[in-house]
Chains A and B, each alone.
Chain A
Amino acid sequence: MTHTDIRPGPAPVESRRSNEDQGRGWISYLVWFLIGVVIIALIVMTLQSKGGSGLFYDNQKSHGWLVNAVFAPSSAGQKILVMFLAILLFVVVMGLILWIIDRPRIPKGVLLAGFLGPVVVALSVGLLWSGIRTIIASFQGANAAGDSAGWVGFDNYARVFTKANEHMLINTVLWIFLVPILATAFGLVYATLVDRTRGEALAKALIFLPTAISMVAASVIWKFVYLAPAPTGKEQVGLLNALVDVVGMSPQNWITKYPTGTFALIVVMIWIQAGFAMTILSAAIKAVPDDIVEAAKIDGATGPRLFFSVTLPTIRPTLVVVLTTVAIASLKTFDIVNVMGGNLPSNNILANAFYNQLAVQQPGRAGAFAVLIFIVVIPVIVFNVRQMRKADEIR
């Protein structure tokens, strides 16, 4: 199994052109030098203030219809036009690149620039440099315009770990443990129960559906479950409060209370992620080798015993992958908290705290939150990759 093997593929097909490169190698250097210049120019631009007139489009001035269509479309026609223009531009540029590197006796450096250049520029500026820039900004304050300015040391980080963020920190921990454990548990139980039964496909589709829709739509669905209590004497509108009423307990405002609000939101994430866990675990259960199962059956193992002694240990690597993947997804959950949490500090988590700072033009404080997310993600993924390696070795 080679899927986690990060070594590039079997080195094949040595170019027969290498000896033809001679004398034209300078073109390669020129092309890669230009790519470097583009990257540095873009990096320099991120260091400047956000204000001023845009290089391509200045929204302070009035423009012709076509320019508006391209940069600030307002009508449906303009929007569709700019989409087709963008696709056309992309096709033309890519066609041009492929045409150039398809010339005979093109130096290998140019060939590589054609295949890799766009990606190198996009990733080195868009992710690598942006990441570094954010780390730098997390040690800076902000000016009135919302640009990073002035060094503040670890102030932005210190702010995170204060009493005001107590709920946020506790909630984040609850999210990254409860969601993966419960979603995986439900997914595993369900996958085991419906495995090889009639109507398996339909049964799985029902659970899987929440995975395909947006978290925003999921939040709307659950908003009507958690609706606030109706005025006294009136009938409950929210499903949960109606059920609580039937049982004889008093209806609650689930979202605004602590910690019920956090648990209410966690339930939504479990509802979404269980389908993902179920799908992958179901595939793993089906891949458990027959001979092991049969040997266990001959030894007299049935039902739960078979599940805990044979199936579970065999799918353990997959289980770990699902748990860690869902944990990371939970850590980055922003949509649910933003849409349902009512912007209450008691419902906050790390990813939402990041966005709240971004929205109020505090790049330094937002940066500190983003870096913290990054720091939490790394050990989980390292663990994950290690597990995958181990799983590969066993196979």
Chain B
Amino acid sequence: MTTTTPPLLVEPQQSPRKLKAQLRAQEAKTKLSSPWASLIAVVIAVLWTIPTFGLLINSTRADPAPTTSGWWHFWGVDGSFTLSNYSNAWNGNGSTPLYEFILNSVIITLPAVIIPITLALLAAYAFAWIPFKGKNVLFVAVFAMQVVPIQVALIPLLTLYSKFGLNQSFWSIWLSHTIFGLPLAIFLLHNFMKEIPGSLIEAARVDGAGHVTIFVRVLMPLLVPAIVAFGIFQFLWVWNDLLVALTFSGDNTSPITKGIQGLTTQFSQAGNILPAAAILATVVPLIVFLSLQRFFVRGLLAGSVKG
């Protein structure tokens, strides 16, 4: 996880410049760059899309086709158009049905997003608005923890969970994702909180509001965009995670990533439903991505990559 916030978050004082940029953009649209530039852009876009497109086609080809002929034959040769791969993957067709993995992913993801964000909000508030001795030292310590790769923490946590009898339960996965999400969450939310004018908090103080009231009534409503941005970030991270899942989850608590990983290890039997299963696994993150793209990009710009 890096600490790097690219130095280009939207700055409020930029608005006149932004307006100018818009004008410039309109002007530039008329004089499109050279045909060569367009050609290169199209080539890159096509290269980037073809593998996914091939998987999508393969997911709709009847049984032996995905593993016996190339997807560019579409529904000719040995495979006609079918959606049965999807129902076979969904119902498991003998092995664990995909819907169980997806249910597990949902069960894992909701608390693993809600808990770290709430805890991080509280901590970020204390760091931003409660003066106390040793604040700087503590904050730098939290800041520095973003550097720690999660690999370093996995085995001791495994031992700890087994002492509590929580191994392979959802609790161990929730707790792990909470711990791993906290440093970045605190750092980002603290940055957002610091930007809220102190006069606003001072005014609430004068009106007799305590820290809890200020936190809940004054700051939370203002922080909704930041919370959503980090929420999506954490959601996608937890949903797409494989390492934590493989380390801590058991047979009954495996998320979808582990399910798909299992299918790839039995390619000879599962190769034909694998494309459909992979598409099903990406449906939820894609919906989140497409519907909340703006927030997601904002989270990305603010937080770069963790792991």
Contact = CB atoms under 8 A, between A and B. Distances in A.
Nearest to A115: B126
B76 interface: no
Given A115-B130, A328-B1, 8 more contacts: A2-B191, A9-B127, A55-B165, A57-B165, A90-B111, A219-B264, A289-B17, A388-B5
- Main SS at interface, chain B: helix
Contacts of B297: 279
B202 A13 contact: yes
- Main SS at interface, chain A: helix
**Contact size range, B:** 35 or more
A212 to B, nearest CB: 4
Contacts of B305: 276, 325-326, 328-329
A118 B136 contact: no
Contacts, number: 437
Pairs of residues from A and B, 6 with the lowest C-beta to C-beta distance, nearest first: A54-B165, A126-B179, A57-B165, A214-B240, A9-B194, A130-B153
B29 A57 contact: no
A159 to B, nearest CB: 17
Contacts of A363: 155
A62 interface: no
A170 interface: no
Given A271-B48, A321-B4, A126 B153 contact: yes
B169 A57 contact: yes
A42 B166 CA distance: 14
A252 interface: no
Interface in B118-150: 118-120, 122-123, 125-132, 135-136, 138-143, 145, 147-149
24 contacts: A45-B160, A54-B164, A55-B163, A73-B252, A83-B111, A90-B115, A90-B118, A104-B210, A108-B130, A127-B179, A128-B145, A190-B44, A214-B241, A217-B260, A220-B260, A224-B58, A239-B71, A280-B304, A318-B6, A332-B307, A340-B264, A359-B246, A366-B155, A371-B152
A168 interface: no
A342 B25 CA distance: 48
B75 interface: no
A221 B71 contact: no
Given A71-B171, A384-B3, A48 B163 contact: yes
B205 A13 contact: yes
Contact of B9 (A3, A9, A239, A384): A3
Contacts of B139: 6-8
Interface residues of A, number: 152
Nearest to A198: B29
Interface stretch (A150-158, A171-179, A350-358): A350-358
B282 interface: yes
Interface stretch (B31-39, B80-88, B222-230): B31-39
Contact of B2 (A71, A284, A370, A384): A384
Nearest to B132: A112
Nearest to A124: B141
Contact of B21 (A3, A120, A290): A290
Contact of B264 (A116, A119, A287, A339): A339
B20 to A, nearest CB: 5
A95 to B, nearest CB: 11
A83 B66 CA distance: 37
B7 to A, nearest CB: 5
A193 B252 contact: no
B32 A197 contact: yes
A74 B103 CA distance: 12
Nearest to B288: A212
A298 interface: no
Given A71-B171, A119-B120, A335-B243, A224 B55 contact: yes
B171 A86 contact: yes
Interface in A258-282: 271, 274, 276, 279-280
